[in-house]
Amino acid sequence: MGTYDIDGFFATYDKVTAKWPTGREAVEVPTPYGTTYVHVCGPVDGPALVLLPGGGGATSASWYAQVGELARTHRVHAVDLVGAPGRSARGGDRPLRSVADLTAWLDALLDGLGVDVADVGGHSYGAWIALHHALRSPARVRRLFLLDPTGCFAGYKAPYLLRAAPMLLWPSPRRVRAFLEWETAGAVLDPDWLRLQEAAAGFPSAKPVTGPRPAPEGLRGLDVPVLLLVAANSRTHDPSGVAARAAGLLPRAEVEILADVSHHALPQSAPASLAGRLSDFLSA
């Protein structure tokens, strides 16, 4: 078995982050769980916005198509998850093992960034983290957006899990590409982003923290404005079921279904209207 090409991964990562708007800077924030790498852009005095990527090899680089619009009004902080592919590094005093650890990590990150209250958004697994953080630390979240979240309002479809299993159990660039091409149903994907997803196969990662869906009583008591955007063509879960359940549980939610896009085409290959919709919600 060959040695993992981590230099190749970072070269591809840098090629995708080069698509970000000018003025991007990178900061490294120490936390008890390790050092968190954050891409920052936008006006210094703008309200803070924290963006969390999905799982399965996604990184902060995936937000490049949205940050230009978001950074017009917000100080954007796009995060590489600790223990996942990217430039964050495990370490510190504690490993990430539970939902409580994830929330404590995000609180420590906000402290390190000098941010008391932030708008927070995430895609897929990142949305799951963001929602749990809002439930456990609501005073630190002004507005919350969830982009086709997984594990929040519905389970995975069985065909999705069956298709994902080979890629997860025996990761390889070929399996990653085949899975993404299946889930996105032939959509045009950025070739640099796709190569980064392939390069993440075999990255030395920690096992991601997982857990149950948030309890209904907690969701009903969430007093934070939420924008939930569901991918109409997602093969991950039932889009209409996710939208209906969320609308019935979240008291301050705007729920919309994004036409003509699948789960893994987000956020980098989203409809052109997505950035404006997010910006309108966060600026309200």
* pLDDT tens, position by position, 71-86: 999 999 999 999 999 9
Mean pLDDT of the chain: 96
d(CA 159, CA 4): 30
Which pLDDT score is estimated for 66? 95
CA nearest to 101, candidates 76, 82, 122: 82
Mean pLDDT of 36-42: 98
Which pLDDT score is estimated for 127? 98
Contact status, residue 264 vs residue 231, Cβ threshold 8 Å: no
- 100-128 pLDDT, tens per residue? 999 999 999 999 999 999 999 999 999 99
Which pLDDT score is estimated for 1? 46
- 198-239 pLDDT, tens per residue? 999 999 999 999 999 999 999 999 999 999 999 999 999 999
C-alpha triplet 14, 236, 5: angle, nearest 5°: 30
Res. 140: pLDDT tops 60: yes
Res. 99: pLDDT tops 70: yes
Beta bridge partners of 257: 230
Mean pLDDT of 18-39: 96
Res. 57: pLDDT tops 50: yes
Which pLDDT score is estimated for 94? 87
Contact status, residue 95 vs residue 33, Cβ threshold 8 Å: yes
When pLDDT is cut at 50, 70 and 90, the band that residue 284 belongs to is: confident
Res. 14: pLDDT tops 70: yes
Which pLDDT score is estimated for 2? 65
Alpha-carbon distance values, 277 to 47, 70, 83, 172, 281 (Å): 17, 10, 31, 35, 6
Percent of the chain with pLDDT over 70: 99
Contact status, residue 129 vs residue 96, Cβ threshold 8 Å: no
d(CA 107, CA 31): 9
Which pLDDT score is estimated for 270? 87
CA nearest to 201, candidates 4, 3, 42, 2: 4
Which pLDDT score is estimated for 186? 81
Which pLDDT score is estimated for 130? 98
With 0.95 as the threshold, say if the pTM is over it: yes
Higher pLDDT, 103 or 186: 103
